[in-house]
Structure 1
Amino acid sequence: MTPKIQIPKAEIHCHLEGSIPPVLARELAERNGLSLPAKLFDAKGHYAWKDFLSFLDSYDRVCTVLKTPRDFGDVIYSYLASAARDGAVYVEMFCSPERPAALGISYTAWLAALTDGIDRAGREFGIVGRIIIICIRHLGPDRAFAMAKAMVAEPHPYVVGFGMGGDEARFSPIDFAPAYRLVHEKGYGCTVHAGEVVGPESVWAAIRDLPVTRIGHGVRSAEDPALMEELARRGIVLEVCPGSNVALGLYADREAHPLHRLIDAGVPVTLNSDDPPFFHTTLGTEYDMAGLSEKELRRIARRTIEASFLDADTKRRLLEKVTP
């Protein structure tokens, strides 16, 4: 869908595997000589799932089409091309080395493939892409620390930050403090998923125990006025994904979503797509459905670039593109 509001956009919360559209899943399966899992699609050709657990199952089944470094590169290229058509000038993609490692793909080969996809999209569409390495919370702090060590041991210009996804109810943020301290001390930006499935206490713990300047989702912060005040005071940016939150049943509809309450409280927010084909959304849709004026949307696009983990020169260049 072509976005209604034609303004430059940016995104800092989208998952690599979660960006695979059904048509690409089919192409990758055919290329790799695979049969797609049964009941992966509904009657309309969309991914089939009905609740959070079945979404996770569908997500994992889609990922079975990924077998080679080239596959990962084609996924990030495909998403960047799609986002560029929605007006995006910049995307930070959450990428976990866990899945390629399980396939026997080295970190070096995986990064090289992602770099190729980013460079192809940059040449063809003028979009800038970067990578945030994420650990998986429910796999535990030891795995997270090992991932952080590997990341800082092999620096790459396109790897700009570190984050954590996975089950918010498992472990505590402080358990992952050693991994976060390691990457933070090496100059990387830090973010963490919190305040999505679990309430505002998860955001309090994250901003208390981890060196983060951003929170992935964080929408449950709206339940705690003191927390919203603290986020506003410290300028901690929320990576808000309204379409994802509504699709997963956190809120009944976009009108019930706390985006506007967060903005009214002075909390800095951005708009993002999370796992767009699963939630029938795009970055353009998120901007169009936000219920904000063009001026407010332009402000959000600028804030997204400002909150990114980009180097100063690239950030300055992109800010010129999103500033009227």
Structure 2
Amino acid sequence: MHESASGNGTRRDLRALPKAHLHLHFTGSMRPGTLLELADKYGVHLPEALKGGEPPSLRATDERGWFRFQRLYDIARSCLRAPEDIQRLVREAAEEDVRDGSRWLEIQVDPTSYAPRLGGLTPALEIILDAVESASRETGLGMRVVVAANRMKHPLDARTLARLAVRFKDRGIVGFGLSNDERRGFARDFDRAFTIAREGGLLAAPHGGELSGPQSVRDCLDDLRARRVGHGVRAAEDPWLLARLAEQGVTCEVCPASNVALGVYEKAEDVPLRTLWKAGVPMALGADDPLLFGSRLAAQYELVRDAHGFSDDELAELARQSVRGSEMPEAVRDGVLAEIDGWLAA
């Protein structure tokens, strides 16, 4: 074993560290090989950026870069056309998570994106939920769903989606999100949709603080009453906001590899993980879109260890924070927290 900053001088296997995964997008969870096979199956012409098995070169801090990222994502999504494609994607995402030590996955999806090919909005959501139930049963991974509205679409669409998510809550939907370019529109335009979701018992987990600065995180808290924030790293630019996140116990779903891939930060060392950590902001490391960013869950922990010098004790605490920030049943949560203690004691 290599030397490490951890107390006993060894580097523990981060794939064996039990953890929860709270920020994984549906199409973005696809294996590159699966995309190639599905594209061949349906005769979809893939651009070179999606053919090589390597993550494409991306930068989304300008309009053109974000458009390119979305275009690649949309092309990949167009390869999911039948229930068996959905089942395969979810099963493989679960297998990858299990391999990376995940005990619980809350996968995020906007079912309206799949509805045209799957018979409509409600059938699409039912197909997705069936696939999640099957994959959880087959792999042993606890799985739930966060239904996410698209902030590029009309807020009335988001309300329809929130009502549908509440209706299917008993089928494993635990949260309601808001994704896509946070520089567009205002969070407050979606406040009614989030009220419907919250009153229906769903966790509010919108994106904020990635492509836009601290104000977008404040908007998530003030207008949408977020209990988790997708990304949230730009909160590091505002000490008062950091204190508020810490005080309210709002978990930031931090995706360091994607932050670098999209040009939010130049290199891994620039992602302000230590700033959030020192401020006491709970974090849940996530892979975001492995298909486009090239790394899955355990690799995020490895990045934090290598680029930020987190010890095994600190990495175990990050894993605990991911578990505490999840919608796990209490008995499951207690069991996973005990497993983390066991990993550290080994």
TM range (shorter): over 0.9
Partner of 1:39: 48
CA RMSD of aligned residues (A): 1.9
Deviation for aligned residue 1:270: 1.4
Is the contact made by 1:47 and 1:58 (CA closer than 8 Å) also made in structure 2?
Answer: no
Residue 222 of structure 2 corresponds to residue 208 of structure 1 = yes
State the Cα distance separating 1:132 from its structure 2 match: 0.2
Deviation of 1:313 after TM superposition, in Å, equals 4.0
What are the equivalent positions in structure 2 for 1:1-324 lying under 5 Å apart? 4-5=13-14, 6-31=16-41, 33-41=42-50, 44-52=52-60, 53=66, 54-291=68-305, 292-324=310-342
- The one-letter code matched in structure 2 to 1:34 is G
One-letter amino acid of the structure 2 residue matched with residue 23 of structure 1: G
8 Å CA contact retained: 1:49, 1:58: no
TM-score (norm: length of structure 1): 0.92
Task: For residue 299 of structure 1, give the secondary structure of its aligned residue in structure 2.
Answer: helix
Q: Is 2:148–2:176's contact at 8 Å kept on the other side of the alignment?
A: yes
Partner Cα separation in structure 1 for residue 210 and residue 22 of structure 2 = 16
* 1-structure distance, mates of 2:210, 2:179: 11
Q: What's 2:5 paired with?
A: none
SS at match of 2:293: coil
Q: Deviations over 1:176-225 (max 9, x none)?
A: 11111111111111111000000001111111111211110010000111
Q: TM-score, normalised by structure 2?
A: 0.87
| One-letter code aligned to 1:50 | L
Give, in whole Å, the separation in 1 of the partners of 2:235 and 2:99: 32
* CA separation of 1:254 and 1:40: change in aligned 2, threshold 3 A: closer
Distance in 2 separating the partners of 1:298 and 1:177: 35
Q: Which residue of 1 aligns with 2:3?
A: none
One-letter identity of the residue aligned with 2:44: S
Kept after mapping to 2: 8 A contact 1:140/1:171: no
Write the deviation string for residues 86-135 of structure 1: whole angstroms up to 9, x where unpaired.
11111110011111223243344334433443344334432111100000
Conserved? CA contact 1:4–1:288, under 8 Å? no
Q: Which runs of 4+ in 1 moved over 4 A?
A: none
C-alpha distance in structure 2 between counterparts of 1:112 and 1:317, whole Å: 30
Structure 2 stretches lacking a partner, 5+ long:
1-11, 61-65
Give the C-alpha shift of residue 36 in structure 1: 3.0
